[in-house]
Amino acid sequence: MFAFRSTFFILVFSLFFLGANGGKNAIASDSFGSQTLLHALWFDEQLAGSDSDLARATLPEPDFSPPLRTQPLHFLPQVQPARQQIITRVAPDGDRKVMALTFDLCERAPHLAGYQKDIINYLRSQGVKATFFAGGKWMRTHPEKAMQLMADPLFEVGNHAWTHGNFALMDETEVRKQVDWTQAQYELLYEEMQAWAEKRGVGREMGKVPPSLRLVRLPYGRNNEDTGDILASMGLPMIQWSVEGERDELERTVDQLVQWNLDKVQPGAIILMHANAVPQKTHLLVPQLVPQLKARGYEFVTVSELLAMGPVVTVIDGYFDQPGDNLYVDDLFGGKGTLGPIK
Ligand SMILES: [Zn+2]
């Protein structure tokens, strides 16, 4: 009896202290989805996708048509002052070895981009958290894939502009349109998924899916002196990167890309990659890089979780790897960055 009581009290006290400690060190309690929801809406084969997901195409005419709703219903609070500049990484408290893998899903007006299923399937198989910055038009052309990413608790989704507009070249009205249309498209998919989840009897699980995109990534990393204020007023911190993960991917082997990333990474790093099947080596890079980062003690978190782990490191102007190295895109993509490369 005595032994039983002692065990009982130890258990109660352990739970108490675990609870207190867990509260103090907890990662942001935001949830990004629900396994119950994900598996109630899709079979494993549907989540795994098929080779047709990799397909890309050029449209007969550039598509600038708006989403069914052009204004989001959700409004976000102003971004706090410390986070109003361009965020390249976080300086985690205690130099904790955490980092964020991020994948952009860019789609310009004249193109249909892809979905690199092998990357997502690998992340799911290993339980690796990641953040996807989705173009609004990409979400409209890939509604089911977008909803799967939204529903998956491993993944956070952020805003990557409607047609990949270059914000350095756009006025405020144009920037707001790129961002608002994307926010609205996300909400439309959320509402569609909610109706579907209710039919399947898992409507309550939708409470675990964020009702709004809460981060933005600047296309090409380009901004001007007004961009930060506009996006801060829309409630969206600008999340860029500290490692351009696919740097010189055409000239480098996968092994060289792995080494490039390992040399650049540090606690609080944000790695930029793409999952739109445009870069051709990312699906080979990720399964080699992730185990090497794990072996070095890194833990993968979503960007919002990373932001809760320490102060942000910011820059005034975005860039790929070195300040100024993205200015050339201002002359390269027509239609204020929304069209294809000008040959
Ligand atoms: Zn992009």
Per-residue pLDDT of 58-92, as tens digits, reads 999 999 999 999 999 999 999 999 999 999 999 99
CA distance 268 to 313: 9
Q: Which two tokens stand for residue 247?
A: 């740097």
Q: How far does Cα 284 stand from its chain's mean position?
A: 19
Cβ < 5 A residues, ion ligand 1: 104, 106, 219
Q: Which two tokens stand for residue 183?
A: 């926010």
| Phi, psi for 313 (deg, rounded to 5) | -105, 125
Mean pLDDT on 227-241: 98
**What are the domain boundaries of the chain?**
82-332
Whole-structure pTM value:
0.91
Mean pLDDT on 13-34: 51
Element (H, E) at 45: helix 44-48
**pLDDT of residue 5 exceeding 60:** no
Mean pLDDT on 271-300: 98
Tell me how far the alpha carbon of residue 277 lies from the centroid of ligand 1, in angstroms. Answer: 12
Tell me how far the alpha carbon of residue 106 lies from the centroid of ligand 1, in angstroms. Answer: 4
Tell me how far the alpha carbon of residue 135 lies from the centroid of ligand 1, in angstroms. Answer: 8
Tell me how far the alpha carbon of residue 110 lies from the centroid of ligand 1, in angstroms. Answer: 14
CA distance 126 to 72: 34
Tell me how far the alpha carbon of residue 4 lies from the centroid of ligand 1, in angstroms. Answer: 60
Mean pLDDT on 245-256: 97
CA distance 66 to 94: 46
CA distance 67 to 204: 27
According to the model, what pLDDT value does residue 16 have?
A: 41
Query: Which CATH architecture describes the domain 82-332?
Result: Alpha-Beta Barrel (3.20)
Tell me how far the alpha carbon of residue 200 lies from the centroid of ligand 1, in angstroms. Answer: 35
**pLDDT of residue 265 exceeding 60:** yes
Tell me how far the alpha carbon of residue 219 lies from the centroid of ligand 1, in angstroms. Answer: 5
Single out the residue of 105, 76, 92, 73 nearest to residue 184, CA to CA. 73
CA distance 5 to 122: 47
Q: Are strands 130-134 and 98-105 parallel, antiparallel or unpaired?
A: parallel
Tell me how far the alpha carbon of residue 105 lies from the centroid of ligand 1, in angstroms. Answer: 6
According to the model, what pLDDT value does residue 142 have?
A: 98
Instruction: Give, in order, the Cα–Cα distances in Å from 85 to each of 215, 246, 318.
Output: 13, 24, 10
Q: Which two tokens stand for residue 124?
A: 């799911």
Tell me how far the alpha carbon of residue 23 lies from the centroid of ligand 1, in angstroms. Answer: 36
Tell me how far the alpha carbon of residue 274 lies from the centroid of ligand 1, in angstroms. Answer: 8
Tell me how far the alpha carbon of residue 164 lies from the centroid of ligand 1, in angstroms. Answer: 6
The residue among 121 and 26 whose pLDDT is bigger is: 121
State the chain's mean pLDDT as an integer. 92
Element (H, E) at 299: strand 299-300
Residue 269 contacts residue 243 (beta carbons within 8 Å) = yes
According to the model, what pLDDT value does residue 343 have?
A: 59
Tell me how far the alpha carbon of residue 220 lies from the centroid of ligand 1, in angstroms. Answer: 6
Tell me how far the alpha carbon of residue 104 lies from the centroid of ligand 1, in angstroms. Answer: 6
Residue 139 contacts residue 185 (beta carbons within 8 Å) = yes
Tell me how far the alpha carbon of residue 209 lies from the centroid of ligand 1, in angstroms. Answer: 24
Tell me how far the alpha carbon of residue 217 lies from the centroid of ligand 1, in angstroms. Answer: 8
CA distance 2 to 134: 59
